[in-house]
Amino acid sequence: MPKWLTMDAPESDVVVSTRMRLARNLADVPFPACLRGRDDIEKVHEGARQSILKSSAFEYMRLGETDTLKKRALAERHIISPELARRRDGALIVNEDESISVMILEEDHYRLQTLSAGLTPDKAYGEVDLLDKMLADGVEYAFDEQLGFLTSCPTNAGTGLRASVMLHLPGLAATKGMPRVSAMVAKVGMTVRGAFGEGTAAAGALYQISNQVTLGVSEQEILDRLTTTAKTVIEFERGTRTELAKSLGVALEDRVWRAVGLLKNARRMGGAEAQRLISDVALGLSLGIAGGLSSSEMYKLMMDTRPAIIAEMHGKLSPSQRDVKRAEMIRDVLTQRCTG
């Protein structure tokens, strides 16, 4: 489903994806929270449409006219925020594989976003920078010589850049290493949290590290800090996995193979169990336990089997129908590909 999540991306044994997000506002239109005039609203929409829809790679959708199932799925894929999904006057501009998008009238007039697989900050930033230049060609940004880009919330002002990586950290999660990671990243002005919001990492061991500070640093400094931090956490995670494999031995092999067995055979499966088992298999793959699949395929499966994404693909289902469908989707992927 997330087509941008390609195989063999850099550091994909630990890194799911890299994301860049720029906050931008028009110079002569009130921030969204104060925006009431129909003309001003249309001006925000038109600015982005005329700049970006010149390229036929993009699609424009008004969220007030978008199907609810579709909006929920977009939110689960982190293409729109739940807040934007609820705004009737908001819109989304997005390319075909959803790797490049613009949220219109979220907290800021524009939120430009790019996603790419693995640890790829230069690629992701290059793309968001290009998108920024396309948009800047057609509109005048709210920009202050002293402060930089102006944003609704002061924490985003300056560069307006939020750079993040999504990491799969089953080793650190299993060994209570996450508090150390939190402390470590906090020291360089970054933060770590569950990939699907606070406290959501438990099942799949997916975490997001992003910069806290957007002001008083350059874009390059933010990227460098993210890369350095990510590489440190990656090494920490890899070391922990090797230690786990050594200390647990057959117990870890057993856990991974049982996960394979359940994923290949279960006839219904809840979301949390699926996340946990797929995470176990991804851990196993990185240690040479089990084979025939890639970590990226496991990350894809973790995302594709989230509730709203299943509903987007298969229509509205009851929770128990969804559990049956989830098990079926997982069997399809694993039976085709997995040895064991």
Least Å distance, CB 103 to its own copies, is: 39
Binding region for its own copies (CB under 8 A) out of 55-63, 115-123, 154-162, 246-254 = 246-254
Q: Which of 48, 65, 162, 55 is nearest to 105 (CA)?
A: 48
Q: Which of 207, 210, 111 is nearest to 152 (CA)?
A: 111
Least Å distance, CB 336 to its own copies, is: 14
Burial class (CB in 10 A: 0-12, 13-18, 19+), 317: middle
Separation between Cα atoms, residue 90 and residue 62, nearest integer Å: 6
Residue from 67, 96, 235, 254 touching its own copies (CB under 8 A): that is: 254
Question: Which residue, 160 or 284, has its beta carbon nearer to its own copies?
Answer: 284
Q: At what angle do helices 307-314 and 68-76 cross, to 10 degrees?
A: 140
Question: What is the contact mask toward its own copies in residues 264 to 283, using x (rule: CB under 8 A)?
Answer: xxxxx---------------
Least Å distance, CB 52 to its own copies, is: 46
Pairing of strands 110-117, 143-144: unpaired
CA contacts within 13 A on the Cβ side of 290: 28
Q: Which of 128, 169, 144, 149 is nearest to 13 (CA)?
A: 169
Residue from 154, 261, 291, 292 touching its own copies (CB under 8 A): that is: 261
Q: Helix (H) and strand (E) counts for the chain?
A: 12, 10
Residue from 103, 226, 262, 301 touching its own copies (CB under 8 A): that is: 262
Separation between Cα atoms, residue 166 and residue 266, nearest integer Å: 28
Question: Which residue, 87 or 264, has its beta carbon nearer to its own copies?
Answer: 264
Token pair recorded at residue 7: 């195989």
Question: Which residue, 11 or 280, has its beta carbon nearer to its own copies?
Answer: 280
Of residues 82-101, those binding its own copies (CB under 8 A): none
Separation between Cα atoms, residue 203 and residue 199, nearest integer Å: 10
Residue from 37, 258, 272, 292 touching its own copies (CB under 8 A): that is: 258
Q: Does 337 bind its own copies (CB under 8 A)?
A: no
| First-to-final CA distance of the chain | 25
Least Å distance, CB 250 to its own copies, is: 5
Residue from 38, 176, 246, 250 touching its own copies (CB under 8 A): that is: 250
Token pair recorded at residue 188: 């360089």
Number of residues that bind its own copies (CB under 8 A): 18
Q: Does 251 bind its own copies (CB under 8 A)?
A: yes
Least Å distance, CB 318 to its own copies, is: 12
Q: Does 314 bind its own copies (CB under 8 A)?
A: no
Chain residues binding its own copies by CB under 8 A are: 250-251, 253-254, 257-258, 260-268, 324, 327, 340
